[in-house]
Structure formats: C-alpha cells, structure tokens
Amino acid sequence: MLTKNMRARSPLKLVLTASVSAALLLTAGCGGGKSKKDTSYVARDVETLYAAAKERLDSGKVKQAAALFDEVERQHPYSPWARRAQLMSAFSYYVARNYNESIQASQRFLSIHPGNKDAPYAYYLIALCYYEQISDVQRDQKATAQALQALNDVTRRYPESEYAADARLKIDLVRDHLAGKEMEIGRFYEKSGRWISARIRFEKVVEQYDTTSHAPEALYRLTETSLALGIPEEAKKYAAVLGSNYPGSEWYQRAFKLMSKYAPNAEAS
C-alpha cells in the first residue's frame, strides 16, 4: 500500500458547489424515513429529488446519495439538474469507495459534457479513483499505471487548473511507486543469479525514473551486477555516475568499497 505520506492529499473540493437554496433544502423532508423508503424510485419533482440526494450526502449517507443523484438523471435527463447530479453521483461513489462506479459516472459526464467548466474536476476524480487503488509493490500495478495516465491527462489537458498542482505531486509519488516495483523485481532476479534480467530492471529505473528515490540504489545495483557479469569497466561507469550525482549517499559509499575490493584497476569505457 502507499505510505501514509503518499496517501495524504489536499481536501477534495467539488467545483460544482451544486448549491441549493434554503427553501429547496427544506423540501427534502423525506430525510427521516427508513433507508429503503429514502431511495425508493418513485417519481418526484427534480428539485425535491436533488435536495434529498444532497441531504444524504451532507449527512454521510453516501451510497443513498449516489443512488438518488442517479435517479435525478434517470427521471429528469433533460433538466439542468441532471448535469450536476451526474458529477455529484460520481463524487458520492468516490466517497463510498465504489471507485468503478465513480469512474463510470465521471466518464459518462465527460462524454455528454466534454467542454463543461467542470470537466477538469471529472478528469481529476477519475485519477483519484485509480490512485486510491494503488497496491503495494509486490502486487499487480495495473491501477498504478492507470493512475499515472489519468493524472497526466489532468496536467496535459488543464495545466493551469486548480487540480494540476496536486496531480503533479501525485505523479511524482506514482512514478516513485512504479520505480519501486522495478527494483523489487530486479532484486529478486539478482538474488537468484539472473544478472542480465536484473540489469534490465535496474536500467529501466535509471532511464525512466531517474528523478525518483530509487535511482541511487539502481546505480549501485548496476555496479554490482556488472561486476558479477565480469564487466568491471561498466561497473566503474555506473559507480562514477553514482558518485557524481549522489556523492554523500549510502549507495555511493557501498559502490566505492565494492569497486576498491573487486575492480581497483578498472578503466571506464
């Protein structure tokens, strides 16, 4: 799982305030009934139905809220309230941790209203849904790759939006996570003596994730595997890059000792 710091994020703000006048909120008087009755799909005027959904959301009944927002769209598809309800439904599903439903609702909103002012938020919400599903490095990283793509969509499409800064921060965290996965596999190969397979993983970290926290170790592991493969010149090259970029790191100290012991006379190619 992501660390606590990686999970931390700024409070989620919904661009659509979806404000309802006090008078409308007062019409949501069905809030005191039982759960089944609250979400029964009976015909209601759009304002009362939307207000009832908003009341459920405000009171933390997010699953009921999502169902009622969906009902706004179903019963009143051509009402201006339907557009708001789509995004509020997506948000409600997100809060309920029903990420697939949230993604589907957000994508439906974007397919119908691609140029809407709240499109940046819909893209951001999709990215958050994937981000929340990132698993630890020992598991499949499909959601991690999807999170990276979705976060890049936010920064590419709306670089000046209020969501872009948070998306960029999360991109750095996701890239670090993907690099960690490559290191995990590379270390496994190295321990089993599969030096070439290990090098491929470590090289990928150095080439694609050079700004992550895993880059120093990857350079050290390349030094280590180069020596194991009998190419000390390559080992010296990686050790030199490590010393140039991370001179005070533990990994450089280890690489220096390794080179001094096993290849003191190696020449860089």
DSSP line for 250-264: HHHHHHHHHHHHH-T
> Do residues 85 and 112 lie in contact, with contact meaning Cβ atoms separated by under 8 Å?
no
The letter for the amino acid at 248 is: G
**How far is it, in rounded angstroms, from Cα 243 to Cα 253?**
8
**How far is it, in rounded angstroms, from Cα 6 to Cα 184?**
19
The structural architecture, per CATH, of the domain 17-25+42-116 is Alpha Horseshoe (1.25)
Q: Is the pLDDT of residue 2 over 60?
A: no
> Do residues 260 and 243 lie in contact, with contact meaning Cβ atoms separated by under 8 Å?
no
> Do residues 243 and 255 lie in contact, with contact meaning Cβ atoms separated by under 8 Å?
yes
Q: What is the pLDDT of residue 159?
A: 96
Structure tokens at 197: 């397979």
Q: Where are the alpha helices (DSSP H) in 9-141?
A: 22-26, 35-38, 46-58, 62-75, 80-95, 99-112, 119-131
Q: What is the pLDDT of residue 44?
A: 67
**How far is it, in rounded angstroms, from Cα 149 to Cα 71?**
31
- At residue 84's C-alpha, the angle toward residues 78 and 87, to 5°, is 120
What are the pLDDT digits (tens) for 127-183?
999 999 987 766 777 889 999 999 999 999 999 999 999 999 999 999 999 999 999
Q: What is the pLDDT of residue 138?
A: 65
> Do residues 255 and 219 lie in contact, with contact meaning Cβ atoms separated by under 8 Å?
yes
**How far is it, in rounded angstroms, from Cα 147 to Cα 189?**
27
Within 13 Å and on the Cβ side, how many CA atoms surround 73? 17
**How far is it, in rounded angstroms, from Cα 269 to Cα 246?**
21
Structure tokens at 216: 């120093």
In the DSSP assignment, the letter for residue 14 is -
What are the pLDDT digits (tens) for 18-56?
333 322 332 333 333 444 444 445 566 888 888 999 999
Q: Is the pLDDT of residue 97 over 50?
A: yes
Chain position carrying tokens 């006090």 = 22
Q: What is the pLDDT of residue 100?
A: 95
Q: What is the pLDDT of residue 30?
A: 37
What are the pLDDT digits (tens) for 186-243?
999 999 999 999 999 999 999 999 999 999 999 999 999 999 999 999 999 999 999 9
